[in-house]
Structure 1
């Protein structure tokens, strides 16, 4: 009986020893490294695979994933894939013009130095979150609500990433910030309808301005064309009058030359031509000369237009 009891005790002891030494066996995943501590102090690092070290309390290990991209959520939490819960108080931030916006952001990072990540700070992921919140609020406070809601989102993301990286480097925690993404930037729920009204008014304003510019762009060339047409017509009219005046001048000069040669004949001819223009249908004209003599003139005979 005592022999059987001794055998059982020995078996239990062996099992306990195996279990005890088995605590020193560990497995490291493909994206992980194991940091080995000897008597509580870091001694060396091992890579992926199955390894063994001295059992506790002589040695222990800490597994750190150095390749997986980690993330911290600000202003919301992922409940399950595709479902999110908003953290309203955490999302609120004050803008430069005194407005409040609700900002939901995600910071993506990975471990660049596993030793510093594991032993420098008690909770490095929380440090990443708090640093990002601080930098995000500081950058938003430098911009107006319109800038945050529209053109400045990407700029803010880039600036926050740089600031957070500098902060983490100063803390020396072995973290590399990959990106800071602003998931949603909107006015707080109680005033979102008022912001929508303002945005609609601004859009209407831009639309009216664009329509006015379009009308002006269509009208100006038309008006310029009309003005050019009027100028060209005026120039043509002026040229026509100049040519007419020149012709009349030449005609007058030629008549003057004829008058100098034969004043009486030229004078009579001019009178007849004038009477023909004034009385185009009259064929016989009665004239009264200086001696009160009445004369009957047949225009057809005078102008050679009929028989004598």
Structure 2
């Protein structure tokens, strides 16, 4: 056995492979089937991962898990988180809005429209529209001064003027404004009669409610501005609605008749004033004309006075002729002088009688038959009326000149 020993072999080992085999002839090396079925080494896999991340060099032996390897990853993770946190803080405020910034729940500042930045998780931005006109409606049955019930509807238009006060002065500014509106409306309706509210007092209710509402919300300083108050409607209870509708219609008819009468008066008054002024001017002109004519006659008689004193008979005759010419020029009559008798024919009277005596002439035969009768009637009337005006004129002439 000494000769078979390998001198170069390690102590306690045989020089031949057969010497190392067990006595029973079995082989200690694992077969390929056993290698495939063995589970992976997790420690070795994790060590290889750390090598790839910089934890070791290629070909080095596997290393154990070390907290120093995690410390190298912390700056990278912190830088990435800081970038994400910074980018998440950018926000935009619209043109019609203002941003109310709160820091840890407390009011910090007001930001203007545009791109802004805030520290996330530290500050919060609440956008508030300051240009939109908001509308609030209120209605209900209310008791009037004369102890009647009336249903009233009212609309309030308002907008936000101070976003900070709007959010933090009261718990809910819109709800507070609604309660103030209801209180102001009940106060105004309670101090007016029902007939006045339903007919002519609508404008008064609107104005008084607006004033009362402003006085109520002023101490609270809610950052709101009331733009307008619209009184929508006022209705009586259903039991007496028909009677009140008739009363309202009568009131409206009364106002309509009053307006129509005022319009008619405004239309006729200038005409009456014009006619009155026209009559006054005509009377003034007539007065001036008569005065001037009288003055002219006086002047003319004064100039004729010397001639009248020289020959009074001739002047009398001349004056008489001139006067008769003036009178007869304005009278549609024909005078026939037959010596001592003066016949006056009233032509206008004769023509009127002739027209009145002629009936309607639908046929020529009737016209011919009626013509002699009408002509004879005219001739008889003229014969009867001729001597009547001649005698006084003749007597007047004889009395004046004989």
The TM-score with structure 2 as length reference comes to: 0.42
Alignment pair present for 1:135 and 2:184: yes
The TM-score with structure 1 as length reference comes to: 0.54
Q: Structure 2 residue aligned with 1:73, among 123, 137, 149?
A: 137
Displacement of 1:108 after TM fit?
0.8
Q: Structure 2 residue aligned with 1:42, among 93, 107, 119?
A: 107
* Distance in structure 1 (CA, Å) of the matches to 2:252 and 2:131: 46
Aligned partner of 2:168 in structure 1 is: 119
Distance 1:203 1:129, change over 3 A: closer
**Higher RCO (C-alpha under 8 Å, 6+ residues apart):** 1
Displacement of 1:150 after TM fit?
2.0
Tell me how large the CA RMSD over aligned residues is. 3.5
* Distance in structure 1 (CA, Å) of the matches to 2:202 and 2:91: 46
The list of structure 1 runs, each at least 4 consecutive aligned residues, that deviate by more than 3 angstroms after superposition, is 1-4, 10-23, 188-191, 197-204
Alignment size in residue pairs: 193
Contact 1:102 1:188 in 2 (8 A): yes
Displacement of 1:168 after TM fit?
1.4
Contact 2:188 2:209 in 1 (8 A): yes
Q: Which runs of 5+ in 2 are unaligned?
A: 1-44, 53-69, 262-402
Query: Per the alignment, in what secondary structure is the counterpart of residue 171 of structure 1?
Result: coil
Q: Structure 1 residue aligned with 2:116, among 51, 72, 92?
A: 51
Aligned partner of 2:124 in structure 1 is: 60
Contact 1:24 1:60 in 2 (8 A): no
Aligned partner of 1:29 in structure 2 is: 94
* Distance in structure 1 (CA, Å) of the matches to 2:229 and 2:163: 22
* Distance in structure 2 (CA, Å) of the matches to 1:193 and 1:176: 39
Distance 1:202 1:113, change over 3 A: closer
Per-residue displacement from partner, 1:248-269 (whole Å, max 9, x unpaired)? xxxxxxxxxxxxxxxxxxxxxx
Larger Rg: 2
Aligned partner of 2:242 in structure 1 is: 193
Distance 1:157 1:38, change over 3 A: same
Q: Structure 2 residue aligned with 1:161, among 201, 207, 210?
A: 210
Alignment pair present for 1:172 and 2:221: yes
* Distance in structure 1 (CA, Å) of the matches to 2:93 and 2:252: 57
Displacement of 1:163 after TM fit?
1.6
Q: Which runs of 5+ in 1 are unaligned?
A: 76-90, 214-308
Displacement of 1:18 after TM fit?
6.0
Displacement of 1:198 after TM fit?
3.9
Alignment pair present for 1:102 and 2:151: yes
